């Protein structure tokens, strides 16, 4: 599947590439990112291959990520209107300012204006609420976003890292008030983080929201350089973000290495191909600090895993899910004992005698 095999994002008319170029590593301000020159080269390579979806945030490298993207489109001759650029609000760049971040009307409007200046554009294609502002009525946030859409400064709305019940509340309010709907949801999803399968992904599928996984390589732990035998070195500047691995994680990594050997591709490629194949997933966020990493990540679009290989990875990475997800799967046998529905065979119910209909 090439980058220009576009998909529709959620229940909208926006068409995007199957892999979205994430730019959290653009800029060296935090001590471990890519230089502006390398960042612009990666944007150019992504666009040259037919990619059209770029993701950033106001707080990525203190705003430098947005400026790098704006500089690229300003001086490269690339068509801004041919690209889908998304950025996020919530994070504050002004310590001590109570209205510098969050999701209130004052905060989100001024954050949008600042992002537009750094991006050097007059509109944002997808404007994302980066995190849940627990102090803010969601109605205020949604109405502020609707005003930005009405003004032409924002085209579509997305949410990132919110609990399923809050996303459902937001989408329901927007629907009944005739405001712009949520079209996409960013969430962490990988072979080492699958708990979103309990409520977030089924909710998104039901409500017409496209799922966009971030960190599909789990901060690099699924890249192949971290193995049971040799461990792996974590960049000192990123150690606070990535954490350490457990024995259960290495069981997953072992299986990933085995499947990657069968496929003849890198572990990172296989891990990305697995995420991209999951139900509900629209466009997957990929990030890179070097051109070779970007090239390796894009190679996952050319890999198709077999049913057996997917089953192997599913089995070793299957997580315990919070109630009632697991119970809901088991309880289907009580409603449809011994039947086959939508390709799923239900077992007999242990609560029924052989001649249950006698009463």
Q: Which residues are catalytic?
A: 60
Question: In sequence order, what are the beta bridge partners of 124?
Answer: 154
First to last CA, the chain: 57
DSSP 65: H
Q: How far apart are CA 269 and CA 115, in angstroms?
A: 32
Secondary structure (DSSP) of 169-237? HHHHHHHHHTPPPEEEEEEE-BTTB-GGGTTHHHHHHHTT-EEEEE-TTTTTTTSSS-BTTTB-PPPGG
Placement of tokens 């712009």 in the chain = 180
Among candidate residues 79, 63, 76, the one with its CA nearest the CA of residue 23: 63
> For the packed helices 105-119 and 138-151, what is the interaxial angle rounded to 10 degrees?
40
Q: How far apart are CA 119 and CA 66, in angstroms?
A: 5
Among candidate residues 18, 105, 131, 125, the one with its CA nearest the CA of residue 115: 125
Assigned token pair, 341: 């529905």
Give the strand pairing for 53-55 and 19-22: parallel
Q: Within 13 Å, how many C-alpha atoms sit on residue 174's CB side?
A: 25
Q: How far apart are CA 268 and CA 272, in angstroms?
A: 6
DSSP-derived 3-state class of residue 245: coil
Q: How far apart are CA 271 and CA 192, in angstroms?
A: 10
């Amino acid at each position: 599947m090439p980058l220009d095999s576009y998909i529709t994002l959620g229940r909208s008319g926006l068409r995007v590439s199957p892999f979205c170029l994430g730019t959290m590593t653009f800029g060296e301000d935090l001590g471990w990112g890519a230089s502006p020159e390398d960042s612009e080269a990666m944007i150019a390579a992504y666009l040259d291959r037919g990619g059209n979806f770029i993701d950033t945030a106001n707080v990525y490298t203190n705003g430098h990520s947005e400026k790098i993207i704006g500089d690229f489109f300003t001086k490269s001759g690339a068509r801004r209107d041919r690209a889908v650029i998304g950025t996020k609000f919530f994070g504050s760049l002004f310590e001590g300012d109570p209205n510098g971040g969050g999701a209130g009307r004052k905060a989100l409007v001024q954050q949008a204006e600042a992002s537009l200046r750094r991006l050097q554009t007059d509109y944002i294609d997808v404007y994302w609420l980066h995190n849940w502002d627990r102090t803010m009525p969601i109605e205020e946030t949604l109405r502020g976003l609707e005003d930005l859409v009405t003004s032409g400064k924002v085209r579509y709305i997305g949410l990132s890292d919110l609990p399923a019940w809050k996303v459902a509340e937001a989408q329901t309010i927007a629907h009944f008030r005739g405001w712009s709907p949520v079209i996409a949801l960013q969430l962490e999803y990988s072979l080492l983080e699958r708990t979103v399968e309990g409520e977030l992904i089924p909710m998104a599928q039901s409500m017409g929201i496209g799922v966009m996984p971030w960190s599909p390589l789990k901060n690099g732990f699924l890249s192949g350089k971290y193995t049971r035998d040799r461990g792996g070195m974590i960049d000192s500047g990123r150690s606070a973000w990535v954490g350490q691995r457990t024995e259960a994680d290495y069981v997953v990594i072992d299986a990933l290495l085995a499947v990657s050997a069968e496929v003849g591709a890198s572990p990172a490629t296989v891990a990305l191909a697995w995420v991209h194949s999951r139900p509900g997933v629209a466009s997957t966020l990929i990030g890179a600090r070097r051109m070779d990493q970007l090239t390796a990540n894009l190679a996952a679009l050319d890999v198709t895993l077999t049913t057996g290989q997917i089953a192997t990875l599913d089995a070793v990475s299957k997580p315990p899910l919070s109630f009632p997800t697991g119970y809901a799967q088991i309880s289907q046998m009580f409603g449809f004992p011994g039947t086959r529905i939508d390709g799923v065979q239900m077992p007999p119910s242990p609560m029924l005698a052989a001649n249950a209909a006698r009463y």
